[in-house]
C-alpha cells in the first residue's frame, strides 16, 4: 500500500486523472443563489416567468453550463427546487421556466381542477407554447449574458446547454431533442440545435411514438427516468377504468429509450417508483422517495458532467458500473450507443 502511494505521489496528475468520481446525491462544492424574473416575448405577446439557480460564492465558476427545466402539468417555476439547488451546487445554472396555459394558474381557473387538468393537457396551443418558451428563454439568456447589468453577466456557457423536464415537461424536452410529436405536425421542426443533452423524466405517450421513426430526429444524448408504477398520473374516477388525465402505462414510458437509434441513450427504472417520485407529493411522502430522489440527483449530475462538461470520468462512472452500484436494489439502469 505504501509503495502504491509513493508511485501515485511520483506520478501525481496521472493518478488523479484516472480516478473516477463518486456521485452520491450530496450537494456539490458551491453555495447556491437564486432569483426570479419574468421575461416578455414580444413576438407572441407572452410572459415567461423563470426562477434561476446558480453557483455562488467567491470561488464560483467563471462560466457555467446552463440547464433549462420544464415543469409538469399544473406546475410552476417554484417546483422541482431540489433539482435546481443540486445542479447549481455542482456548477450549473438551472433555469426553471413556467408555462402559462399548463401551469398552476390554469388549473385554478373556475374552481374545477380535474376538468382544467384535462383541458390543459389537450390544448395544442399550450403544447406549442411550451416548446417555444424554452427556445425564447435561450434567446433571452443569450441577450442577458452580454448585458453588464445582468447579475450573471458573462457567466453563462451557452455552448453547453441542457434541457430537462418531468411529465408534460418531458414531452416538451423530447420535442426540443428532436422527437416527432403529432401535435406539432409531421416533421420534428421544434428541435432546438442549441441544446446538447437532455434529461426526460416520465415521458408521456403520444399516438405514433411507438416506432423508431418517431425518434430518428433525436441526435443528442438523452437520459430517461421512470418507474415500474409510473402511470399518468394514476388518477381514475371512483369505480371506473378511464383515466381522468391521459392514460400512459408504465411500460409505455420506455418507448423513447427503446426507439432511439441515432444518439446515446440512458434508462433508469425505479423498482416501485411512481409518477410523483420526481416532482414531490402534495400528501405524505413514501418511504422510498428520499432514496429515489438521491439517485435522481447522483445520476443526472453525472450525466450532465459527462455530456455538458466533457468529463470522461463521469461518463465512465455512469456507464461502467459506478452508478449501478449506487442504485443497488432500488431499480435498473442501462445505456446504449448507436
> Where does the pLDDT of residue 19 fall: very low under 50, low under 70, confident under 90, or very high at 90 and above?
low
Q: Is the pLDDT of residue 186 over 80?
A: no
Q: Is the pLDDT of residue 14 over 90?
A: no
Q: Which residue has the higher pLDDT, 47 or 116?
A: 47
Helices 312-319 & 289-308, crossing angle to 10 degrees?
Answer: 140
Q: Is 58 helix (H, G, I), strand (E, B) or coil?
A: coil
Buried-exposed string 66-99: b where 16+ CB fall within 10 A, e elsewhere: bbbbbbbbbbbbebbbebbbbbbbbbbbbbbbbb
- 17-21, 122-126, 316-320: which has the highest mean pLDDT? 316-320
**What is the reported pLDDT for 110?**
63
Q: Mean pLDDT in the chain? A: 87
**What is the reported pLDDT for 6?**
34
> Where does the pLDDT of residue 225 fall: very low under 50, low under 70, confident under 90, or very high at 90 and above?
very high
**What is the reported pLDDT for 204?**
87
Q: Is the pLDDT of residue 244 over 50?
A: no
Amino acid at each position: 500500500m505504501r509503495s502504491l502511494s509513493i508511485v501515485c505521489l511520483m506520478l501525481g496528475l496521472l493518478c488523479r486523472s484516472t480516478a473516477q468520481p463518486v456521485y452520491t446525491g450530496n450537494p456539490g462544492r458551491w453555495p447556491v443563489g437564486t432569483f426570479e424574473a419574468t421575461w416578455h416575448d414580444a413576438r407572441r405577446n407572452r410572459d415567461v416567468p423563470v426562477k434561476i439557480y446558480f453557483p455562488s460564492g467567491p470561488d464560483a465558476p467563471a462560466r457555467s453550463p446552463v440547464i433549462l427545466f420544464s415543469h409538469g402539468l399544473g406546475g410552476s417555476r417554484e417546483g422541482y427546487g431540489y433539482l435546481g439547488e443540486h445542479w447549481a451546487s455542482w456548477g450549473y445554472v438551472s433555469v426553471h421556466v413556467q408555462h402559462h396555459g399548463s401551469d398552476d394558474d390554469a388549473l385554478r381557473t373556475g374552481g374545477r381542477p380535474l376538468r382544467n387538468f384535462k383541458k390543459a393537457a389537450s390544448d395544442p396551443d399550450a403544447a406549442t407554447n411550451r416548446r417555444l418558451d424554452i427556445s425564447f428563454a435561450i434567446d433571452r439568456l443569450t441577450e442577458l449574458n452580454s448585458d453588464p447589468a445582468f447579475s450573471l453577466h458573462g457567466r453563462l456557457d451557452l455552448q453547453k446547454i441542457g434541457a430537462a423536464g418531468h411529465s408534460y415537461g418531458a414531452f416538451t424536452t423530447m420535442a426540443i431533442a428532436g422527437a416527432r410529436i403529432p401535435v406539432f405536425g409531421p416533421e420534428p421542426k421544434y428541435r432546438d440545435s442549441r441544446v446538447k443533452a437532455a434529461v426526460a423524466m416520465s415521458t408521456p405517450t403520444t399516438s405514433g411514438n411507438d416506432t423508431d421513426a418517431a425518434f430518428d430526429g433525436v441526435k443528442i444524448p438523452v437520459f430517461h427516468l421512470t418507474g415500474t408504477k409510473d402511470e399518468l398520473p394514476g388518477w381514475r374516477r371512483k369505480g371506473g377504468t378511464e383515466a381522468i388525465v391521459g392514460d400512459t402505462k408504465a411500460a409505455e414510458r420506455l418507448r423513447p429509450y427503446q426507439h432511439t437509434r441515432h444518439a446515446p441513450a440512458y434508462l433508469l427504472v425505479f423498482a416501485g417508483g411512481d409518477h410523483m417520485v420526481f416532482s414531490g407529493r402534495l400528501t405524505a411522502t413514501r418511504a422510498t422517495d428520499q432514496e429515489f430522489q438521491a439517485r435522481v440527483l447522483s445520476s443526472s449530475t453525472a450525466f450532465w458532467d459527462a455530456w455538458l462538461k466533457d468529463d470522461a470520468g463521469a461518463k465512465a462512472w455512469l456507464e461502467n458500473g459506478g452508478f449501478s452500484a449506487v442504485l443497488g436494489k432500488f431499480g435498473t439502469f442501462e445505456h446504449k450507443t448507436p
